[in-house]
Structure 1
Amino acid sequence: MADDSSSQPPLAKYLASSDKKTRDKAVKSLAKYLSENQGKALPKQEMAKLWKGIFYCYWMSDKPLVQQALSSELADLLLLISSTESAFAFLGGFWEAIVREWNGIDRLRMDKYYMLVRKFINASFRLLRRAEWENSALGTFNEVLTSPGGPLCPDDTRIPGSLTYHIVDIYLEELEKALSVASDPSSDTTFSELPAPLIPLLLPFFDLAARTSSSITHSRVSTGLIDPLLVALTTASSSDPPSKKRKFLTLSQQSDLSDLISKSCIDEPQKGVVQPAELRNAVLRSMFDVASGPDVKEANRRKLYAIWKVAKAEEEDIGDTS
């Protein structure tokens, strides 16, 4: 491999080499570059070239343990970048590459890319924790996810549905995992103990459910994220089981999300955690507000209102039994 100086990122051809030793050395060189060069992010064209190389570096990994280790190593690159702005630019490059290359991933490789996406979602939450959930960081994170080309953009028909569904399915789980970690040894980072502002983190999904033209996408957001969260918050708010109105949820969907709930707030981390009932009300209020927006698909509006109505009925049930 050519000079691995940290003055410039390793060339994509080394990252995508057929030789594992060359790829490994290129990843180490990239980690060194990212940790030592804290100036402006790479120009968009250079970022795209770099991420194409990283994508195929991962493509070439062909053993489960190697894939698992490499997916963690690549995601942890985010935490090596001390500038939050530059870290999100790097994250944006990841999502652009994933969206661009997703439909070319064959069936045998799909599971490992699902794992890579999971690792980057988790690392993104750890990055937000490092930034102490600053509003600017949250806004940039949501912009990366929801802008055209982002995996949760409701208007971009280029976004593969299977990618969006996977993010929906793992989002709360990975947030809970990220909140349970105290530090990151690889980047010498100690994470903030401030609670996660749940409403800003959920807004991309409320917006997606409200504005998507796909009934399948709307249904997946509802059953994969909104309903399980409301069930968990309802359960945490009362000693009684959730209302029979949510009987359609399978046991596998009914994670209690207890760590997430106990380490979350509405939207102001500095004020500390809030009670589950208060958090639940804030989630419902935010969802209702998004559903009431002017550019919401009418069918989606009705469905979100229906979720809100059922949840409010459950709230009355809790009040009657308390």
Structure 2
Amino acid sequence: MSQTSAFVKKLASNEKPTREAALESLKRYLTSKSSKKLSLLDMEKLWKGLYYSMWFCDRSKAQERLAEGLGQLYSGVVSVDQFALFLEAFCAVIIKEWPAIDQWRIDKYYLLIRRVLRHSFKFIKQNNWGVATKKKVLDQFVSVLNKTILSGDMSVPAALPYHFCDVYLDELEIVMFEELSQLQSEIDDLDASDKNYDSKIEELVTRKREIAEDVPISELTAPFARLAKEARTKTLRDMCKKEVLADSRLKTWGVVEQDEQDEKDGDENEEEAGEDSDEEWTGF
């Protein structure tokens, strides 16, 4: 506990060299045997220090570097046994502290959420996407989201699940297809009239589908499917449907067939029409 408290004080220092040294020390500590005994409360205290490390970080480039560094704690530092607790600690701290974040600092915390999410996906990918013997990594990740930011609980600031709806598939896509970056660059350099353009596009789509077949996308998006039905607010239900479940990329990746997508779109249109008619006042 004293070790954790010492880290928190240094991570939350307003002196940049002190924060940077503390972060490096924390990385070593999280890979040591001593860290195996850390409880969720200990993890939350560590993330409180990391939260303030971001709070005191100024200038956009420095914030990007720090957000990436904090995200890398998930993909390059914590163990399988620590992963779920460390992610839950982050979510708990962000939920608690979010109302206190002012308009001048909000963007860097949106960035931090993106990086934590991206490197969490990287960690799951490193563990074979939670397939077979590594399934507990995937299950724990989904479980943490279900009981924190994507719980649907009214105590969670609305901006957090909304932001997840906005960026979730973007970050998943980056991690899923990172090995296709060279092919994508080749396509970007080609003109649409180039004779190789269509074949390269076809190759990219095919390879994405092949990769997506080995990724449990339906399980990863399950929290949004639940919220689309159970969320207490219509706004959140609609965002889960439109920004995640109805995203055209799911069809491109072969997760959702065209007929199924059209049926979902039709159901949403009927539901919206029904809600509009219920809300329309027709007189006495």
State the alpha-carbon separation in 1 of the partners of residues 249 and 43 from structure 2. 40
- How far 1:223 moved relative to its partner? 1.9
Report deviation, 1:305. Answer: 8.1
| Secondary structure of 2:156's aligned partner | coil
Measure, in 1, the Cα distance between the counterparts of 2:166 and 2:95: 17
Q: 2:163 matched to which residue of 1? A: 166
Partner of 1:208: 227
Preserved CA contact (<8 Å) 2:12 2:50: yes
Counterpart of 2:86, as a letter, is F
Percent of aligned pairs with the same amino acid: 31
In the alignment, the residues of structure 1 paired with residue 37 and residue 70 of structure 2 have an alpha-carbon distance, to the nearest angstrom, of 17
Q: Which residue of 2 aligns with 1:257?
A: none
How many Å separate the matches in 2 of 1:37 and 1:304?
A: 51
For 1:243, the equivalent position in structure 2 comes to none
In angstroms, what is the RMSD of aligned CA positions?
A: 2.7
CA deviations over 1:49-96 (Å, ceiling 9, x no partner): 111111001100011011000000001011233521212211111111
Alignment partner, residue 114 of structure 2: 118
Q: Which residue of 2 aligns with 1:145?
A: 145
Which position in structure 2 is the counterpart of 1:81? 77
| Cα distance per residue 1:160-213 (max 9 Å; x no partner) | 11111011110111001011335xxxxxxxxxx782111101101000111111
**Residue in 1 that maps onto 2:276:** none
Structure 1 segment 276-287 matched on structure 2, within 5 A: 276=254, 279-281=255-257, 284=260
Specify whether residues 49 and 280 from structure 1 end up closer, same or farther in structure 2 by C-alpha distance, changes over 3 A only: same
Counterpart amino acid of 1:74? L
Distance 1:283 1:89, change over 3 A: farther
The aligned counterpart of 1:197 is 216
Cα separation, 2, equivalents of 1:218 and 1:283: 22
**2:280 equivalent in structure 1:** none
Deviation for aligned residue 1:304: 8.6
- Structure 2 residue corresponding to 1:15, chosen from 2, 11, 15: 11
Tell me, yes or no, if structure 1 residue 105 matches structure 2 residue 101.
yes
Matches of 2:176 and 2:125, distance apart in 1: 8
Q: State yes or no: 1:27 paired with 2:23.
A: yes
> What do the CA deviations read for 1:240-294 (whole angstroms, capped 9, x no partner)?
xxxxxxxxxxxxxxxxxxxxx2xxxxxxxxxxxxxx2xx3149959xx9xxxxxx
For 1:305 and 1:211, the matched residues in 2 are separated by 20
For 2:112 and 2:129, how far apart are their aligned partners in 1? 23
Deviation readout 1:130-181 (Å, 9 max, x if unpaired): 111222111100111011xx10002x11111111101111011100101133
1:57 aligns with 2:22: no
Distance 2:256 2:98 in 1: 35
Find the aligned partners of 2:37 and 2:155 in 1 and give their Cα distance: 26
Partner SS, residue 246 of structure 2:
helix
Give CA-to-partner distance per residue, 1:82-112, whole Å, 9 cap, x none. 5212122111111111111011100110011
Whether the 8 Å CA contact 1:146–1:204 is kept in 2: the answer is yes
Give the secondary structure class of the aligned counterpart of 2:105. Answer: helix
Preserved contact between residue 40 and residue 85 of structure 2 (Cα < 8 Å): no
Structure 2: gaps (5+ residues): 180-210, 272-284
Deviation at 1:18, TM superposition (A): 1.0
- Give the SS at the match of 1:136: helix
Equivalent residue for 2:249, pick from 232, 235, 240: 232
AA aligned opposite 1:171: Y
Closer/same/farther in 2, CA of residues 30 and 218 from structure 1, 3 Å limit: same
**TM-score, with normalisation over the residues of structure 1?**
0.66
Residues of 2 paired with 1:66 and 1:283: CA distance? 46
Gaps of 5+ in 1: 1-6, 183-192, 237-260, 262-275, 289-302, 311-322
* Equivalent residues, number: 232
Q: Does the Cα contact within 8 Å between 1:199 and 1:283 map onto a contact in 2?
A: no
The one-letter code matched in structure 1 to 2:249 is A
Answer yes or no: is 1:306 the counterpart of 2:267.
yes
C-alpha distance 105-283 of structure 1, shift in aligned 2 (>3 A)? farther
Distance 1:98 1:132, change over 3 A: same
- Verify the 8 A CA contact 1:145 1:152 in the aligned structure 2: yes
Task: Name the structure 2 match of 1:253.
Answer: none
The alignment's TM-score, normalised by the length of structure 2, stands at 0.74
Are the counterparts in 1 of residues 224 and 241 from structure 2 also a CA contact under 8 Å?
no
